[in-house]
Amino acid sequence: MTPAHRSPEDHPAAVLIAPDIIALLEENPGDIQTETEELHPADLADVAELLPFDKVVPFLLALPPARAADLLEYLNEDLRTEVFEALDPEAAAVLIEQMTPDDRTDVLEELDEEHAGEILDEVGDETRRETEQLLRFDPQTAGGLMTTEFVSVPANTTVEEALERVRALAREGRREAMYAVYATDEEGRLVGVLSLRELLAAPPGGVLGDAAWTEVVNVLPSADREEVARVTANYGLVAVPVVSESGHIMGVVTVDDVIDVIQEEQTEDVQKMGGMEALDESYMEAGVGAMVRKRAGWLSVLFIGGLLTATAIHHFESELEKAILLLAFIPLIISSGGNSGSQATSLIIRAMALGEVKLADWWRVAFRELRSGLLLGAILGTLGVVRVVVWHMAGWNDYGEHFWFVGLTIGAALLGVVTFGSFVGAMLPFILRRLGLDPASASAPFVATLVDVTGLLIYFSVALLILRGRLL
């Protein structure tokens, strides 16, 4: 997983170092390793992102493969893909071999199949087998997120032996997900977990199985990545074991990948809520063409939905001609409905994303929103009456002899539209979810368009009811 893109402004160190690296690449590439020795791999990745593209590969090759692999874990995903496309399969294989299994999979998924195959042919048998297995999982699931490096030992191992095992693996430089040690039974099924801290605290003579927690929070490999994020957040974990139906531990999802998932999901939700398809890349990196494509679809759909407002108004044109003053309030009334709907939708989408509200809660939410909608509608309705009556009495607008009824019409329409907007806005995410769609697709513009059309109908009906025989 690639972390969020970091701008050079945030990293003056990288900005300062990049020119030195360019000079060293020309004159003395051998010094690059010592020059960058103390940099965090994330900063090393920043340096790489600041270099001209033709210097990135030489820079990587000037680093020891393990450091280069560390750098690649933090590198911008697009740049990383370009780097691997530029490398010959042998050099790529050396780096791939050094990466963690989950990052390895992430890299290969982005490459075209042929090139990925060529690289896999060059890596060792064990790595290849393991990688091919991981590539079979959907990247949106726990299986697609997990690393296969973790420490598991039989439950009857002594604490001291388990600790020695951990130390030996750590010394080999293998970067296992070393936050916890998992205990297995004779059939290799997961039966316990002990954090590294608890392992260090456990009585040395004891057996792992006695010290371990037997209720292990875990997820299935097929679990959606949002579910993985929820479990990690709720239990405050740094690593979640991925366990097969048969009870065998297959891998571990680590918290850094979970944070990436949370942020990516959130970006998708925000973009959908803004009434567009998820962009899937950072704003500045997306081309204008790609961006217009992601936006034009929804915008056109909303436009076509909006056409119904024209039809509705055409339908009432003869009444409106008699009372052209009613016109002036159309945008105000339908926007108020859209705004209250957008509030309700945002509340429910977020509550669903956090798991605070379930599908089964729909009727409780409906009831809440009806009450909130009525209250909010009463507030705006009062403001509407005040607008008409005060403006009329002050002589700023002339609403005729029936101005009290005009005010009442505006007020009642607002009460109806705002109540309806809150209700529809709150129910829409439930309907989408029930249909198996993403509730976040219930964007503010979507709700607004839906409420625009019905809002007009409510307004005109109220007007006919109150003003017939007076103005209409």
Kindly state whether residue 10 participates in binding a second copy, applying the rule CB under 8 A. Answer: yes
Q: Rank residues 292 and 431 by Cβ distance to a second copy and give the closer one.
A: 292
* Residue among 343, 298, 302 at smallest CA distance from 449: 302
CB-count burial class (<10 Å; 0-12, 13-18, 19+) for 150: buried
- Determine, following the binding rule CB under 8 A, whether residue 22 of this chain makes contact with a second copy: no
Instruction: Please say which residue, 130 or 369, places its beta carbon nearer to a second copy.
Output: 369
The token duo for 239 is 């690593």
Within a 13 Å sphere around the CA of 319, how many CA atoms are in the beta-carbon half? 20
| Interaction residues for a second copy, span 101-160 (CB under 8 A) | none
**Residues that contact a second copy, how many (by CB under 8 A):** 134
Q: Are 291 and 284 in contact (CB under 8 A)?
A: no
Q: Is 80 in the site for a second copy (CB under 8 A)?
A: no
What are 145's two structure tokens?
């997120």
Of the candidates 447, 303, 271, the one whose C-alpha atom is nearest the C-alpha of residue 369 is 447
Q: Counting contacts by CB under 8 A, is residue 405 touching a second copy?
A: no
Q: Quick check: 432 binds a second copy (CB under 8 A)?
A: no
Task: With beta carbons less than 8 A apart as the criterion, state whether 387 and 330 touch.
Answer: no
| Sole binder of a second copy in the list 94, 135, 220, 313 (CB under 8 A) | 313
State which of positions 258-287 bind a second copy (CB under 8 A): 258-260, 262-263, 266-267, 269-271, 273-276, 279, 282-284
Q: Is 331 in the site for a second copy (CB under 8 A)?
A: yes
Question: How far apart are CB 239 and a second copy at their closest, in Å?
Answer: 10
Using CB under 8 A, which of 330, 427, 432, 472 touches a second copy?
330
**Residues sharing a CB contact under 8 Å with residue 237, sequence separation 6 or more, in sequence order:** 217, 231, 255
Instruction: Tell the smallest beta-carbon distance from residue 309 to a second copy (Å).
Output: 4
358 binds a second copy (CB under 8 A): yes
Give the residue carrying structure tokens 């290849």. Answer: 128
Looking at residues 217 to 246 of the shown chain, list those that interact with a second copy (rule: CB under 8 A): 217, 230, 232-238
Q: Are 410 and 385 in contact (CB under 8 A)?
A: yes
Name the segment binding a second copy (CB under 8 A); options: 79-87, 120-128, 312-320, 461-469: 312-320
User: Applying CB under 8 A, does 366 fall inside the site for a second copy?
Assistant: no
Q: How far is the CB of 89 from a second copy (least distance, A)?
A: 28
Q: Least CB distance from residue 5 to a second copy, whole Å?
A: 5
Residue 29 makes CB contacts below 8 A (sequence gap 6+) with: 58, 62
* Contact status: 255 vs a second copy (CB under 8 A): yes
Angle, alpha carbons 174-179-184 (nearest 5°): 90
